[in-house]
Structure formats: structure tokens, C-alpha cells
Structure 1
Amino acid sequence: MLATGLAGVVSITAAAVFSFSLLSKVVERMVSLSVGIMLSTSLLHALPEAFESHADPRSLFATLLGGLLAFFALEKVALLRHSHHHEGDGHHHHHGHDAQQAGKAGWMILIGDGMHNFTDGILIAAAFLANPQLGIVTGVAIIAHEIPQEIGDFIVLLNAGFSRLRAYVFNLLCSLLAVAGGLLGYYTLDRASSLIPYVLVFASSGFIYIAVSDLMPQMQRRATVRETIPQVLLIGLGVVIVLFLTHRH
């Protein structure tokens, strides 16, 4: 409960601070850091943890494939939104473009975000049941990813006419669904421990999909050496953070 609650409150509050001041450079840096944390959490910790179990490797790989395809399908029907666009970010849209797009998207953003947070809670619970260390790292990875995503959500809601306070409160309420998901996951998976490796693999498929299909293409839009060097360094920093948190003495 503490991990899921903190993941929501920290990410929402940090996103509010950044989006209200429109620190676009900070958002870009967070995207790079998120890539390093999410990929290393999946490939260096969660997946090895799952494959060290007694589960059938073929079934785990099938779960990984199914997870990647499921996240692709969910994004296609706009249940998962990872938009980081805002007015004045350098994209060539006419003034007011976002406001026009946001009118219908505001409430859809909140519904999709609530479902996303509920799923995150289940994944954090599965990680803690597998290994408390993995639970902490998974929470950190989710926070790192949620901050840039929530910034995009905040900006859409502000453009849709929400006040800053209202946008913050509604996003915070959505984040509490992670606690509900965590409780459900803990009591369900605790009685069905054989499912934990599959949930870890599914969580990893989500992290990998988001990092590779959403975040990394954003980083490729500015391919100058001046932009690439900080990106690579921050990805490396994300990997180092995960290795530090998962180091076994």
C-alpha cells in the first residue's frame, strides 16, 4: 500500500510541478531517464526473476509476446495514452490546436489513466511478492515513467478547461486506483503464487513496449550530437540506478 500510494502521489505531484511551469527541457530529460530505468528493470531484474522460477520458459515467452501485442492493441484503441505534446513545444500546429483536441480527450485521459494506475498496482504487488527488492525497483520504474506521462495528461486537462487544482485533484484520485490494484493483486496472487512469474513477464512487456515504441522515438526526433549525449548519459544513469537498487550484498 505504501509503495503504490507513494508511486501515485510522487509522480502526480512532480508532474504537476513540471507541467504548471512548463519545463519542457525537464520533461525531455525525464523521458531519457525513464528509458534507462524501464528497460533495465525489465531486462536485468524482472525477467530474470520470472525465468528463475519453475514456470515453463515457452509459456513465459508466449506471455511476453502476448503482452507486447496487448499493449499495442490497447494503445491503438486509445486506452493507454502517452502524449507529451503541449503548446509551444516546437511542433508545427496552429495555436489552439491542443485545446480543440483536448475537449473530448480530457475525460478519456482520466479513465485511461485510472485503468493504467490500477494495473500498475497489481504489477507492484506481484513484484513485491516475488522479491521485495524487485518491488521497490518496479515502484521506482513506474514513478519514472509516470512523471512524463502525467505531465502530458496535465497539459491536456489544462487545455480542456480544467483548473490547476481540479486537474491535480482528479489525477490524484486516479492514482489511488493503484492502491486498489495493489490490494487486489496482493490478496489474489498471494493465493496463486504460480501466476507471479507471468505477471512479472507481462509487466516487463509493458515497460519494454512503452520504452521502445513511445519514449525512444520521441528522443529520436532531435538527433543532434548536442541532444544525443545527454540522452545517452541519462539512459546510462537509469541503468545505474536500477543496478544500485538491485545490488545484492
Structure 2
Amino acid sequence: MSGIALVGSITILLKPAALDRLLLPFVSLAAGTLLGGALFHMVPEGSAALEPLLASVWLAAGFATFLGLELFLHWHHSHRSQRSRRQPVTYLILIGDAVHNFLGGLGIASTFLINPTAGITAWVAAAVHEVPQELGDFGILVRGGFPRRSALLWNLLSGLTFPLGGLVAYFTAQQFEVSGLVLFGAGNFIYIAASDLVPEIKTHQSFRAAATHFGFFGVGMALTLFLAMWNA
């Protein structure tokens, strides 16, 4: 699963001009998969074991925490040397993805310990979902100021929290109750998509660009919805 974070390496073969044309479609894809993953996967899963009000509190806490974190990052960014080109949203993406991967590692390893066949199925579904999301994350990091090789490295590091979560589940050999944390992560993803990514993809200058961005956004949402229906 961590290796999937390197899927963006295919873009190293592209010329800078070609990559520039693909960055906003990648960002659009990321917005769709982040929102779809939160709304179709994480919210239903996290809400199932909690009272509606408590579930809403966890979701709101995840949203509000990333709002506060981004406000701090913007303040910190504005007080640093102008030589730094990295935008605050890039750090939010890395943190949110690390939390998401850690929870995924916990859940899939716990499922595998109970039923290996179910664990393998869950891993395959998660891996299929990760490919478009990691491509989108890579596009956000590059557009936010990361060099391509640095973006790949940091994407990989955020992906390493997946086996970390799996190892924690394995060595404790128990099923984790992570409903609140799943909803907290969903709030993170909703904030990133709604506050940073959707406004970014609305900055178009032609109908064709708008249609392309909306199309990639729709593909991301559709993929996550299909996977949710397939796993139901």
C-alpha cells in the first residue's frame, strides 16, 4: 500500500509543460476522491457504531482542527522567508493522508486477523481507491511548491503510516474501535476538498477547462461510490 504512493513517479517521464496541463485535472481528481472517500466510506462506517450527535461532533472536530491548523500554517508561511514556495494545503494533505493511512492499516489488519479472505478483499478495495487519490495528492504537492522528487518522497512517507497501523493491530491482536477517529479523518478530508481544492479547480478561463475539471472531479466521486457499493 505504501508503494502505491509512488504512482506519481510516472509523471517524471513527462515534460514540465505536459505536467502543468495535468496538474489541475489531478487536483480535481483528488477533490472527488477525498470527498467521495469521506462521504461514501468513512462517514457511513464511522457513524454505524456511534450516536448521531457524537458522530457529528467527531466529524466537526476533524473539520475544525484542520481549519485551525491551516490558519496557523498560513500565519507561519507569511512570517517565513519568501524563498519558501510551499503552500499550507500541501502540509494538510500529507497530515490528512497519514491519518487516513494509519486508520486504514488498523482496520485492514484487524479484518485480516479475523478472516484472511475478507482482509485481502478489503486491501484490494483500498488499493484501487488509493491509486487515483495518490495521483491527485501528487498533483497538489507539485502545484503547491514541491519538486517532483520531493513530492514522491513525502507521499511515500505519509503512506508508511499504513504498515505502522497494521503492525499496531497485529501486535495487539485485537479489533480496534476507531469509529470516532474515522469520522475525525472524514472531517479532515471534507475540509481539504471544500476549502482548498474545489476553489482551486474553479479558477478556469474556458468552458473546456471547466468541463475537464468537473469531469475529473466526477470520476473521483464515481470511483469511490462504486467501491462503496461493491463492498456493501
Question: SS state of the match for residue 73, structure 1?
Answer: helix
Q: Equivalent residue for 1:27?
A: 23
CA distance in 2, matches of 1:111, 1:32: 18
Q: Equivalent residue for 1:177?
A: 157
Change (3 A) 1:175 1:15: same
Question: SS state of the match for residue 195, structure 1?
Answer: coil
1:148 maps onto 2:139 in alignment? yes
Q: Equivalent residue for 2:7?
A: 10
* Unpaired segments ≥5 residues, structure 2: 75-80, 112-118
Shift of 1:233: 2.2
Over 6 Å off, 4+ runs: 108-114
Q: What TM-score comes out, normalization by structure 1 length?
A: 0.68
CA distance in 1, matches of 2:176, 2:190: 23
Change (3 A) 1:56 1:235: same
AA partner of residue 155 (structure 2): S
Structure 1 segment 25-174 matched on structure 2, within 5 A = 25-52=21-48, 54-78=49-73, 101=82, 103-104=83-84, 118-126=98-106, 128=108, 129=110, 132=122, 135-136=126-127, 138-140=129-131, 142-153=133-144, 156-157=145-146, 168=149, 170-174=150-154
For the 8 Å contact 1:127–1:138, the answer to whether it is kept is no
AA partner of residue 3 (structure 2): G
AA partner of residue 29 (structure 2): L
Change (3 A) 1:235 1:127: farther
Q: Equivalent residue for 1:199?
A: 181
* Aligned-CA RMSD value: 3.5
Shift of 1:135: 2.9
CA distance in 1, matches of 2:71, 2:15: 26
Change (3 A) 1:19 1:248: same
Note the alpha carbon deviations across 1:108-163, whole angstroms, 9 max, x for none.
Answer: 9998876565434313324535771663355245414312122225xx355xxxxx
Q: Equivalent residue for 1:94?
A: none
CA distance in 1, matches of 2:26, 2:52: 34
Structure 1 segment 207-218 matched on structure 2, within 5 A = 207-218=189-200
* Unpaired segments ≥5 residues, structure 1: 80-99, 159-166
